[in-house]
Structures are given as structure tokens and as C-alpha cells.
Amino acid sequence: MNANLPELIVIIPLIGAFLITLAATVHGKLCFPLAAAILTGALVSAVGLLGRVLAEGVVEYHLAGWRPPWGIGYRVDPLNGLVLVVVAAVALINLLGTRPLVEKDFGDRLGPFYTLYVLFVTGLMGIVVTGDAFNLYVLLEIAAITGYALIGMGNPQRAPLAGLNYIFMGTIGASLYLLGVGYIYLVTGTLNMMDIAARLPALAGSRLVMTAFIFCIAGLCLKMGFFPLHAWLPNAYSHAPAAVSSLIAPLMTKVMVYVMIRIMLTVFDPGFTFGTMGVSRGMVWLAVAAILGGSILALGTRHLKRMLTYIIVAEVGYMVGGFWLGNRAGISGAALHIVNDAAMTLCVFLAAGTFFYKIGGESIDDLQGLFRKMPVSMAAFAVGGLSIIGVPPTCGFFSKWYLISGGLAAGQYAFVGALLFSSLVNLALFFRIFEIAFFEPFQEHHGAHGAPAGTARQEAPLQMLVPLVLTALGLVALGLYSGDMVSRLIEHAIPAGIV
């Protein structure tokens, strides 16, 4: 059982997804408990696997016993062990926290919805766990295709078009990545990541390798919505159904950043990535543009989810920029931010879903009086917002700390400036919302008795509140344990050559 953990992580949700379809033919009510059981199983396996990695070091697993380079190998080190836990945990919490939303929107289509949901998670888990470059492409597309379908299930006015545009961009991204893998295969004759890594140093000067590198990077940047290739992201995420945005927004971009770190550090050699290619500076500057652009675009919208998606564009800039700083602090910050950003994005999107469920509006102006109407959800949203601003001891502060110290150490002051600027913009963004929720509708203060009209308490159901509040508390817990996370997990995943 324990030996097969890497496989179980993918197999459980894969088989489970089809079981859900079967269960739906019996009764729609069966789908949710089944999905919850499957994702709990996946989370337990992921935690068990991380425990094993901590105890034994890197875990290798050969599917069906075929040894690499012939078979597909799964390889789990501390970094992807951690990301696996994050993916499974976010998927499970979101599943539990959005049940009323899903039943409201998809009451007649629970089977397809939960099947796609679990398949999407399968794809992401596979991407993270696999050690095979082509297998990664296939899983990437499994996650992407289910993601397209989930997004397309949203608001019929806008979601299908947003989904279709996402398909176009996603397919271009995946095709570019596939081309890159093709070139690598052409020169190395293998698809196993470790095998490629062993052969590439001998070919470092090859133009083909460089071309492969460029294709991989371009494809991944498209997939993660890295500025200026982000245009598809805000539409796709903000028009998706509420339960889907809070699944895809925390996970998809973060997993793509993980893939970038994996390909750039494990497949290509760090010396090649940061040295020979000479793209680091350019990437950091693009990240600066991403952070500034995302922040400013976020200021320009009053649609809550859309604003949050622009913040994601900026956050992707944080991670990509941090990684391309090429030093230990920067890469640690990027890796830590994968975890932290997933958690805080989940928190604010879950809260947005909760507001939508009770209020129905999606503009920030609909949030009037919400501190009074929904104090608990609003408090959780506030914690998420503070984390995105970067207030200690929430987790967002700590990744920013690593990123800024990486930027200072690398002498990339523009990046440091952009991070601070974006913190301030986030402050403005979230306090704009807090102000609306706190002050409006305005009231006469002296001698005012009781609440103004229309602000009676109407908190969301408990099954939405509990996961939301747990996520918010998790942000503080992640912050307090970030020192451990870096020293016990992330540090070990960064090659020793990087200082």
C-alpha cells in the first residue's frame, strides 16, 4: 500500500471519476459524498507520500514495473510532495465549501460536474507527480480539457466564449510545450526527465536544445497566464461558475509555475537555465511588468472576481520573477508562494462564492453592509485580503519576504519596487472593498439604534462557512510554519549549486 502511494495519488481520482459517472445514473445525491471520499483518499495518500519523502528522501516509482527510460517513472521530491498536498487539500476544501453553490447551479448535472471536477484534480496530481516529459503533456491536457469544460458550464452569456478563448490559448501553449519536448527527444532520444537531465549537459551549446528551451518556456508562460500572455485568464476565471473559479484559480496557474520550476531546474541544468540562455534578466523584467500590469488592471475593475483574477496575474509575476532571480532566496520565495498563493487565492475566491451565494451580485458595490450581514465570511475574506497585501503573520508576508530579499541579493531593485508597489495597490484594492462593506449604506451615528434597513444578519450556511474559516485560519498557520516549510522541504528541492 505504502509502496504504491505515488500511483494511488493518480489512480484513486482517475477511477473515482468514472465511479461518479456510474453513481450519477443511480442517484445524483451519491455524487458529492463519493467525490468527497475520493478526494479525501487522494489527500491522505498525498500526505502519506510527503511523510515518506521526509523520512526517506526522493521516492521513485515505475508504473507497471517498467524501468525508465522505457516506462513512465513517477518521481517525488520534497517540492512536488508539498505541491501534491496543496493540490489535494485545496480541491477537497473547495469541494466541501461549495456544495450549496453547486447544487444551486448544477442540480440536474451533478454527475458530469463532479466527474469533471475529480478528473481535473487527477490531471493536476499527475502533472505534479510525473517524471516523464511527454506524460506531463498528456496530463496537462487532461487538466486543461476538463478545465475548459468546467469553465464553459458557467454563466451562458459569457462563459462559453471565455472558455473557447481559453481553449485556443491553452492549446497553443500545450502545442508549444509539446514541440519543445519533441526537440528534446530529437537530441537526447529519451523522455524521462532524469534521463534527459543526464544527457543534456553534453549538448549545452546545441541550438536545438536552446530552441527546445524557448518552446517549453513560451508554452508554459501561456499556460500560466504570464504577462503579456495573460489575456485569456481574467475572462475565463471570472465568468466560470463560482465553485469552479475557486478550484481553478488557486490551482492551475500555481501548478504551471511548479512545472516551470521542475523543467528549468530538473530537466535543464540550472547553469544552463540561468547562465547559458541569458534570459533571466528579461524574464524578471517581464515579471515586473506582470506585477505592475496586473495591479493596475485590478484597480480598474469593480467586478469582484475579475479584480481577484488580475491579482492572480500579478501573483504569477511574483513567482516567475522570484524564480528567475536565480538565487536561493528568490527560488525559495517562488516555491513557497506556490503554496501560499494557492491558499490565499482559495480563501478569497471561496469568500467571493459565499457572497455570490447569498447576495447574487458580483460587483464590489453589491457588498454594502456585508460586515454586518455576513460578519464571519467577511472576516475570512479580510484575512485572505490581508495575506495578499502581505501583513504578518499571514503567509503572504513570508513569501514576499523571501522574494524581496532575493531581489535585493540579486540587485534587481525594479523587482523589489514592483513587489512593494503591488503590496500598496493590494492594500488599496482590499480596503476599497472593506470600506464599502463597512461604511455603506451610510448611517447617522449619534443615537442610531440598531442596524440600518436591509442589513439584517444573513450569514451563509455552515457547510460553506466552516471550510472558509478553516482556510482563513490556515493562512495564519501557514505563515507561522513557513520557516519549517522552507527549511525542511523547499531547501532540499533546490539544487546545491544555487546560492
Closest CA to 313 of 302, 325, 297: 297
Gap between the Cα atoms of 427 and 388, Å rounded:
9
Select the residue interacting with another protein from 423, 433, 467, 490 (CB under 8 A).
423
Q: Decide if residue 482 touches another protein (CB under 8 A).
A: yes
For residue 320, CA distances in Å to 280, 310, 323, 324, 499 come to: 10, 16, 5, 6, 18
Contact 30, 24 (CB under 8 A): yes
Task: Tell whether residue 390 is a contact of another protein (CB under 8 A).
Answer: yes
Element (H, E) at 73: strand 73-76
User: 363: helix, coil or strand?
Assistant: strand
Cell representation of residue 163:
472558455
Query: Is residue 259 part of the contact set for another protein (CB under 8 A)?
Result: no
In the bound state with another protein, the residue whose beta carbon lies nearer, of 39 and 329, is 329
Counting contacts by CB under 8 A, is residue 479 touching another protein?
Answer: yes
By CB under 8 A, name the one of 157, 360, 453, 497 that touches another protein.
157
Cα distances (angstroms) measured from residue 221 to each of 321, 322, 323: 12, 14, 13
With contacts defined by CB under 8 A, name the span among 167-175, 220-228, 249-257, 459-467 that binds another protein: 167-175
Q: Does residue 145 bind another protein (CB under 8 A)?
A: yes
DSSP letter string, 243-266: HHHHHHHHHHHHHHHHHHHHIIII
Q: Which is nearer to another protein, 36 or 470 (CB)?
A: 470
Q: DSSP per residue over 18-71, as a string?
A: HHHHHHHHH-GGGHHHHHHHHHHHHHHHHHHHHHHHHHHS-EEEEGGGPPTTTS
Residues from 262 through 321 that contact another protein (CB under 8 A) = none
Q: Which of 63, 197, 296, 408 binds another protein (CB under 8 A)?
A: 408
What is the grid cell recorded at 223? 499556460
- In the bound state with another protein, the residue whose beta carbon lies nearer, of 137 and 357, is 137
Task: Count, in order, helices (H) and strands (E) of the chain.
Answer: 22, 2
Q: Does 431 bind another protein (CB under 8 A)?
A: yes
Q: How far is the CB of 481 from another protein (least distance, A)?
A: 8
Residue span binding another protein (CB under 8 A) among the ranges 22-30, 47-55, 157-165, 342-350: 157-165
CB of 182 to another protein, least distance (A): 6
Residues that bind another protein (CB under 8 A): 134, 137-138, 141, 145, 148-149, 152, 156-158, 160-161, 163-164, 167-168, 171-172, 175, 178-179, 182, 185-186, 191, 386, 389-393, 398, 401, 404-405, 408-409, 416, 420, 423-424, 427, 431, 435, 438-439, 442-450, 479-484, 486-487
